[in-house]
């Protein structure tokens, strides 16, 4: 099984700050057949179901603001949120879909 | 517009079988490449993928729960189902269904989710 490890588990930020969330996989998510990284990011606000933000490690889902930026390749990935807004306070999960599906433990973004 | 909605018993007793239904619209489980997955989330905890069923009836299960899970579908009525046998308190969670897919033989993301169904296992 592919294990996904996120850090930090929580993060306190002020509005307008830039934050970085890290995600590491136990094996490479880069598929040689198409040179794509099978890594997605989801946002879950309190009381809501998860929402897809980013797939192929860096492609934003339709309607997702461009302040959400995904990067990385292989086993190390990052979600950067520039100029955090109050509406971004949520739990963020990375997910691999290279071999079935596995989620990271989540990173809770809170207000400082 | 793609929508999914989960339904279940709400509360059940230990050792019983949990039966969940995912009713969806806006897509068809007979379309090549389309799948439906079940994911659960205990209160205050993270997400755990449980099972996936695809258009051609292939199925995948989380190895840690495989012996207790059965996923199925009713394509004509746009529904997918999950059964979990021998439940205990550790199965208390919100259960989500989500649309996913298979592209060129590999998995894809979960791009639409239901609102979730709360399940409590208690004696």
Q: Count CB neighbours of A77 within 10 A.
A: 27
Distances (CA, A) of A38 to A21, A29, A56, A58, B62: 17, 5, 5, 10, 18
**Closest Cβ opposite residue A50 in set B62, B63, B113:** B113
pLDDT at B10: 94
Distance of CA A62 to the CA centre of its chain: 16
In eight-state DSSP terms, residue B33 is: T
Q: pLDDT of B11-61, one tens digit each?
A: 999 999 999 999 999 999 999 999 999 999 999 999 999 999 999 999 999
In the predicted structure, residue A111 carries a pLDDT above the cut 90: no
Reported as a pLDDT band with limits 50, 70 and 90, residue B106 is confident
Least Cα distance to A53 among A109, A11, A99, A5 occurs for A109
Residues in chain B: 123
Q: pLDDT of A37-89, one tens digit each?
A: 999 999 999 999 999 999 999 999 999 999 999 999 999 999 999 999 999 99
In eight-state DSSP terms, residue B90 is: G
Least Cα distance to B120 among B37, B33, B9 occurs for B9
Q: Is B23 helix (H, G, I), strand (E, B) or coil?
A: strand
pLDDT at B37: 98
B100 interfacial to chain A (CB closer than 8 Å): yes
Hey, which residues 44-83 in chain B have their CB within 8 Å of chain A? 46-49, 52, 60, 62-63
Inter-chain CB proximity A101 and B116 less than 8 Å: no
């Amino acid at each position: 099984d592919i294990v996904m490890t996120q850090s930090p588990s929580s993060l306190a930020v002020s509005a307008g700050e830039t934050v970085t969330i890290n995600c590491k996989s136990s094996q490479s998510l880069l598929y040689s057949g198409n040179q794509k990284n099978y890594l997605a990011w989801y946002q879950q606000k309190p009381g809501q179901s998860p929402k897809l933000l980013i797939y192929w490690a860096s492609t934003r889902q339709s309607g997702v603001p461009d302040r959400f930026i995904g990067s990385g390749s292989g086993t190390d990935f990052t979600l950067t949120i520039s100029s955090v807004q109050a509406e971004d306070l949520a739990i963020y999960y990375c997910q691999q879909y290279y071999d079935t599906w596995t989620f990271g433990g989540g990173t809770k973004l809170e207000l400082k | 517009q793609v929508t999914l909605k989960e339904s279940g018993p709400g509360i059940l007793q230990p050792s019983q079988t949990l039966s969940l239904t995912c009713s969806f619209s806006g897509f068809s489980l007979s379309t090549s490449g389309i799948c439906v997955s079940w994911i659960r989330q205990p209160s205050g905890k993270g997400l755990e993928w449980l099972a996936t069923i695809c258009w051609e009836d292939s199925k995948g299960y989380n190895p840690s729960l495989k012996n207790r899970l059965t996923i199925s579908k009713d394509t004509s009525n746009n529904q997918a189902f999950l059964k979990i046998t021998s439940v205990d308190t550790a199965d208390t969670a919100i259960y989500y269904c989500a649309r996913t897919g298979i592209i060129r033989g590999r998995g894809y993301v979960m791009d639409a989710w239901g609102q979730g169904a709360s399940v409590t296992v208690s004696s």
